A and B are shown apart, each in its own frame.
Chain A
Amino acid sequence: MMAWASLCATFAALTAIGLSMDRHQEQMLGRELGADAARAWRAAGWLALPLAAAPCLAAWGASVGAAAWLGVLTGAAMGVGLLLTYAPRLLPRVAAAAVPAAAALALAA
């Protein structure tokens, strides 16, 4: 359960980081955001990443949790990469849905 919560949160965080990059903005939104918006997304994404690791650490403790999160990070990044390639417009919506999903999963566990 916690692994899934972590996966959803990591997915959302990586999408936010993606939204800070010109090329990926173009893909997801069809336009480029300004420098301020890009900076805001970047900050949000990097701040969310450690938060996204929290469910793994809570469930497994520091050593196993960190390893598990590296796996989660790989899986989430692959997911973002695939969606960005084949359904870029869908990605921000999926990521937006992933945020409440992560919260619900973490609270349910």
Chain B
Amino acid sequence: MDFIRRITHAQRFLPPIPAGTGLRGLVPVRGTAGMRPDGRQEGLRQAMSWAHTWSGLLLGWLLFAVFLTGTLSYVRDEITVWMKPELHASVADAGTAQRALTAMERIAPRAESWNLVLPGPREPAVSATWREPGAAPGRAGLSRALLDAGTGEPIAARETRGGDFLYRFHFELYGVPRIWARWLVGIATLCMLAAIVSGVITHKKIFADFFAFRPGKGQRSWLDAHNATAVLALPFHFMITFSGLLLLMFQLMPWGIQAAYQGDVQAYFQERRGGAQAQQRAPQARAPGQEAAPAPAGGPEMRGQGGRGDGQGRQGVPDGGMAREGRQRPGDAAAAPIPAAAMPVAAMLVHASSRWGGAAVEGVTVNRPRGRPATVELRERGSSSLAGRGASRRLLFDAASGQPLPGPDAAAPGAAAAVYNVFTSLHLGRFAGPALRWLLFLSGVAGTLMVATGLVLWVAKRLPDRRKLGRTPAGHRLVERLNVAAVAGLMVAVAAYFWLNRLLPAGLAGRADWEIRGFFLAWAACLAHAWACPHRRAWVGQLGLAAALWAALPLLNGLTGGAALPGSMARGLWSVAGFDLCALATAALLAYAAWRTGRAAPAGKAAGRTPAGTAPGPGTAAARQAPARPSPVAAEPVAARAMAGEEART
């Protein structure tokens, strides 16, 4: 706390803060510039508090949406699976890889490579990609199919953006030019970072009140909840905003790269990827072997010694180059094609798994220059290091004999690239196993609650002023309405997105777009509702509606072709069961919030105990309880409680 004392001493060297004015009550009017009621000079902490309040409020609505959809992105694969109920019947077993390869022979006989992502804890079906001869380079030229793990048959899943829409929304928004949206989110992220730093400085008793939460005390409780969700998850918040900025760095500050590479930004990314790590997957690519763009630096040298005979003395086939193998080896037309059924895939899987200490195999890539299988590459599920940015171990096998072949070593990334990789992988949670994913998810929930409590706090804090004034300034009313729509309204909109996924006919043209339009229509309707209704009624109505929508999701899932709840748990289909359980937990929190908001208002029970006298004005009680609920998918009591504004430290 010494440093805080020192900081407050620094106040007198700082220029006075300009007096804020006007905007019809939105911006605080400071009485005498730079003076506090007790006559002392405004200090650094007041300046920070001012910065914190206003940067937080103005971007808080956007930040809430970014945090909520970003938190949901940790489970985006699960969301996508839930939104494709056709996949729920797929059950994997030991023969899945073999069946899928046999099916691929039928589906894509001429492709030069097949890439399979085998079913795992997060996906029940096999996802296959391949490139037809002559297809466009890059991702556009890839053909895709989902295969039933039990039969190998292709599954016609409904068209949906699934969890990817929420993921994209959290950094690109929607319907706005991508560049602008990234700028906007980037600026909001910058403000978030500033708000975190200024918030820590502002928090006078950060050490004395470290764990404190004092429930049922109106504004005090909101402040405690805001502090608790912020301070207790501070390392996470700092990591996620800082790494978010790093991820947007190339967007926000491209000048260095543009200058060094004469405007060819693509060349920079290729060189970084290729030079540092020939092995590694491109960001977000699920099918590394197919990711076109062979690394210019790593590729050719590493392929140098590739032998001609299948399986003999071949070394170093980098993954980017595999798809092109055919062109490199025109000589072996004589080799007999190997039917997929004859490939000893099961033995390769066992071999790989034992080499990797029991780690499962996630990916299978069959390289088949000119339609003849030559080698099979297996990829480990998960990754053991963040510095490699999701690069996982690989093994190469001869397709006919099943004998392991010497594989290329992954080059170690340089120090700067490693730091970038660690932070960005942290942000993306790419490496995360289930336990860690849950921890990140819950931290994300805490962040979502932090933003929501902060927004409500702004209103709660101004209630005494408002009471003194005898009327509600238009600016306060504006903030109240936007709070309801941004927090409760978004919970309704996300639920509506899931509902439309099941209610729109599976064959509807452009149904993926209609799901998204429905999401925004629901959100817009919530804004209109918040505008038309009194503050508390708007909170109660929207929280209640959101609770009902979330609570009915598991039912809807069972009735519209998905794996219903008790059965999915018994089968161990946790991606679907987990979604349904989280929906129920979210509904419970929303319902509790709606109930507290509705109840607390008239009686003012909680407020009665507040010495500072936050009377139960229309805004107060609602504000007090409302935001508590919007815990996204959160199942977790801590954040929930914090949100609910029940905990306070005294």
> Footprint of B on A, CB under 8 Å?
3, 14, 17-18, 21-24, 61, 63-64, 67-68, 70-75, 77-82, 84-86
CA A17 to CA B211, docked complex, whole Å: 10
Q: Which residues of A contact B638 (CB under 8 A)?
A: 75, 78-79, 81-82
Q: Are A61 and B443 in contact (CB under 8 A)?
A: no
Q: Which residues of A contact B446 (CB under 8 A)?
A: 74, 78
Q: Are A64 and B385 in contact (CB under 8 A)?
A: yes
Most buried by A among B211, B239, B442: B211
Listed A/B pairs (7) with beta-carbon separation below 8 Å: A67-B431, A74-B446, A78-B638, A81-B213, A81-B649, A84-B212, A85-B641
CB distance from B452 to the nearest CB of A (A): 16
Number of A-B pairs, beta carbon distance below 8 Å: 103
B140 interface residue (CB < 8 Å to A): no
Q: Are B649 and A84 in contact (CB under 8 A)?
A: yes
Q: Which residues of A contact B490 (CB under 8 A)?
A: none
CA A18 to CA B650, docked complex, whole Å: 14
CB distance from B253 to the nearest CB of A (A): 25
B211, B214, B435: the one contacting A80 at CB < 8 Å is B211
Task: Write the B221-254 contact mask toward A (1 if CB under 8 angstroms, else 0).
Answer: 0000000100011011001000000000000000
Q: Are A71 and B236 in contact (CB under 8 A)?
A: yes
Q: Are B431 and A64 in contact (CB under 8 A)?
A: yes
Q: Which residues of B contact A71 (CB under 8 A)?
A: 236, 436, 439-440, 442-443
Q: Are A24 and B211 in contact (CB under 8 A)?
A: yes
CA A64 to CA B416, docked complex, whole Å: 18
Q: Are B439 and A68 in contact (CB under 8 A)?
A: yes
B209 interface residue (CB < 8 Å to A): yes
With contacts A24-B211, A63-B385, A84-B649 known, what are 15 further pairs, Cβ within 8 A? A3-B436, A17-B210, A22-B208, A61-B385, A67-B436, A68-B439, A70-B239, A71-B439, A71-B442, A78-B232, A79-B638, A81-B232, A82-B637, A85-B212, A85-B649
CA A79 to CA B647, docked complex, whole Å: 12
CA A86 to CA B436, docked complex, whole Å: 27
A63, A74, A75, A84: the one contacting B387 at CB < 8 Å is A63
Q: Are B208 and A23 in contact (CB under 8 A)?
A: yes
CA A82 to CA B385, docked complex, whole Å: 34
B426, B432, B442: the one contacting A75 at CB < 8 Å is B442
In the complex, the chain A residue whose C-beta lies closest to that of B636 is: A78
Most buried by B among A21, A23, A85: A85
Q: Are A61 and B384 in contact (CB under 8 A)?
A: yes
Q: Are B236 and A74 in contact (CB under 8 A)?
A: yes
Q: Which residues of B contact A86 (CB under 8 A)?
A: 647
CA A72 to CA B436, docked complex, whole Å: 9
CA A71 to CA B235, docked complex, whole Å: 9
Report, as a range, how many residues of chain B touch the other chain: 35 or more
Q: Which residues of B contact A23 (CB under 8 A)?
A: 208-209, 212, 649-650
Q: For window 595-650 of chain B, which residues contact chain A by CB distance below 8 Å?
A: 637-639, 641-642, 647-650
Q: Are B235 and A73 in contact (CB under 8 A)?
A: yes
Q: Which residues of A contact B235 (CB under 8 A)?
A: 70, 73-74
In the complex, the chain A residue whose C-beta lies closest to that of B237 is: A74
B13 interface residue (CB < 8 Å to A): no
Q: Which residues of B contact A18 (CB under 8 A)?
A: 210-211
CA A22 to CA B431, docked complex, whole Å: 41
Q: Are B386 and A24 in contact (CB under 8 A)?
A: no
A21, A61, A73: the one contacting B208 at CB < 8 Å is A21
Known: A23-B212, A78-B642, A82-B641. A64 touches B232 (CB 8 A): no
Q: Are B210 and A21 in contact (CB under 8 A)?
A: yes
CB distance from B24 to the nearest CB of A (A): 38
Q: Are A74 and B443 in contact (CB under 8 A)?
A: yes
CA A82 to CA B646, docked complex, whole Å: 10
Q: Are B236 and A70 in contact (CB under 8 A)?
A: yes
Known: A77-B232, A81-B638, A82-B637. A24 touches B439 (CB 8 A): no
